[in-house]
């Protein structure tokens, strides 16, 4: 990327002097020979708008590689994509971001996460923000390799905040068989990938989204910031998008994971069953060798383990007798995509005090 100081008006000059910005100009002669896309950097962390990308190193200095020599930029028809030159294996892609007010007519969309340079053929895993229904909408973009499966659910209602009410943390973690999405330390989605599965939603309600995508996880990708401005003339227009990298690094292909069973948004732990059988939502376990179920209730009964092998249906896999007030531990090393639990007490009411699924 060329480094060049460009002419700016008095207001920009004053701002440059105040913040110590360095100006970089990128002209796309192929698509817009009459327009310049202006990008501004200071060290490695960008503050982004459709016209300007401004960087500072005050928030976090962990991502030392995000320098002018470690990134490359594409700009096509108003869509600017900033990639790291380094690719990350089973990467962890962390950002701080503040989206503009949804009335900002210049803002079009923003991707945060990772994408192979082949994009449509190599896969993408990102938080995707745009304006829909008068508000900032948040979706999880999941494209498998060769686009065998595509899932982009709207998770706006699952975020613990509005994306435009402050600077918030976002994390995309790409694993061997799944991608995790976190916002302000809260899990908002897990999407599993399997080449022999169907593509479907498992859960779209609280506490976090669950989905299945046909195809392979794009586990080897550069970091990506991609954004678009809808202004007819990019010079002199901007949207107030604030963005900084927290970190980007290689990761574990199957990091240890502990999940609660849920039913209709309520965790099993602390739930009282007054009659019948309690059935959980499916629990994502793909890519893990050992799956351990821990269960404790104040009444005896039977714990059923169901499995979904990627066709959006459940089959009974095993059943475990449960003694009252005794912690039961069940381990399976079978290859399973999804687990589902059902518990039928021998007497009522029955309160569950421990229910977890541990994966490693």
- In a structure prediction context, what are the per-residue pLDDT tens digits for the chain, which is 360 residues long? 332 333 334 444 443 333 322 222 232 333 333 333 333 322 233 333 333 333 333 333 333 344 445 555 555 555 666 777 678 899 999 888 888 888 877 778 889 999 886 656 778 999 999 999 999 999 999 999 878 899 999 999 999 999 999 889 999 999 999 999 999 999 999 999 999 899 999 999 999 999 999 999 999 888 888 877 655 444 344 456 777 777 788 899 999 999 999 999 999 999 999 999 999 999 999 999 999 999 999 999 999 999 999 999 999 999 999 999 999 999 999 999 999 999 999 999 999 999 999 999
Classify residue 33 as left (phi > 0), alpha (psi -120 to 50) or beta.
alpha
Instruction: Please report whether residue 292 resides in a domain.
Output: yes
Q: In terms of residue numbers, what domain contains 292?
A: 257-359
**Contact (Cβ atoms closer than 8 angstroms) between residue 222 and residue 66:** no
Question: Same domain for 317 and 347?
Answer: yes
Burial 280-319 (b: 16+ CB within 10 A, else e): bbbbbbbbbeebbbebbbebebebbbbbbbbeeebeeeee
Q: What is the pLDDT of residue 103?
A: 83
Please say which residue of 249, 271, 296 terminates a domain.
249
Please say which residue of 222, 249, 276 terminates a domain.
249
Q: What is the pLDDT of residue 262?
A: 98
Question: Same domain for 220 and 346?
Answer: no
Task: State whether residue 145 is helix, strand or coil.
Answer: helix
d(Cα 116, Cα 81) in Å, to the nearest integer? 12
Q: What is the pLDDT of residue 118?
A: 60
Q: What is the CATH number of the domain that holds 75?
A: 2.60.120.200
Q: What is the pLDDT of residue 235?
A: 39
Smallest Cα–Cα separation from 2: which of 36, 27, 34?
27
Q: What's the whole-model pTM score?
A: 0.81
Q: What is the pLDDT of residue 242?
A: 74
d(Cα 204, Cα 296) in Å, to the nearest integer? 28
Half-sphere exposure of 209 (CA within 13 A, CB side): 29
Q: What is the pLDDT of residue 97?
A: 84
Please say which residue of 233, 249, 265 terminates a domain.
249
Question: Same domain for 189 and 296?
Answer: no
The number of folded domains in the chain is: 2
**Contact (Cβ atoms closer than 8 angstroms) between residue 189 and residue 155:** yes
Q: What is the CATH number of the domain that holds 318?
A: 2.60.120.680
């Amino acid at each position: 990327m060329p480094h060049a100081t460009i002419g700016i008006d008095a207001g920009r000059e004053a701002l440059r002097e105040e913040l110590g910005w360095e100006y970089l100009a990128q002209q796309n002669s192929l698509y817009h020979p009459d327009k310049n896309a202006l990008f501004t950097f200071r060290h490695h962390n960008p503050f982004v708008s459709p016209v300007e990308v401004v960087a500072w190193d005050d928030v976090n200095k962990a991502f030392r590689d995000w320098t002018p020599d470690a990134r490359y930029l594409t700009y096509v028809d108003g869509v600017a994509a900033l990639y790291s030159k380094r690719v990350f294996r089973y990467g962890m892609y962390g950002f701080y971001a503040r989206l503009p007010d949804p009335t900002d007519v210049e803002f079009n969309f923003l991707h945060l996460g990772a994408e192979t340079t082949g994009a449509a053929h190599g896969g993408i895993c990102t938080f995707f923000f745009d304006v829909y229904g008068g508000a900032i909408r948040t979706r999880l973009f999941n494209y498998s390799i060769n686009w065998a499966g595509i899932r982009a659910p709207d998770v706006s209602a699952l975020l613990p905040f509005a994306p435009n009410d402050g600077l918030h943390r976002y994390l995309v973690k790409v694993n061997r068989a799944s991608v995790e999405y976190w916002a302000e330390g809260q899990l908002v989605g897990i999407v599993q990938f399997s080449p022999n599965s169907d593509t479907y939603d498992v859960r779209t309600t609280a506490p976090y989204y669950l989905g299945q995508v046909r195809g392979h996880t794009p586990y080897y990708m550069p970091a990506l910031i991609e954004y678009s401005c809808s202004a007819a003339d990019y010079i002199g227009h901007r949207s107030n998008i604030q963005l900084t990298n927290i970190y980007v690094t290689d990761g574990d292909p199957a990091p240890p994971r502990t999940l609660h069973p849920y039913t209709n948004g309520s965790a099993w732990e602390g739930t009282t069953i007054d009659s019948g059988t309690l059935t959980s939502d499916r629990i994502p376990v793909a890519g893990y060798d050992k799956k351990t179920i821990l269960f404790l209730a104040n009444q005896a009964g039977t714990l059923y383990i169901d499995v979904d092998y990627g066709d959006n249906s459940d089959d009974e896999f095993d059943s475990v007798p449960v003694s009252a007030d005794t912690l039961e531990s069940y381990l399976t090393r079978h290859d399973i995509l999804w687990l589902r639990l059902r518990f039928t007490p021998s007497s009522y009411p029955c309160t569950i005090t421990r229910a977890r699924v541990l994966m490693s």
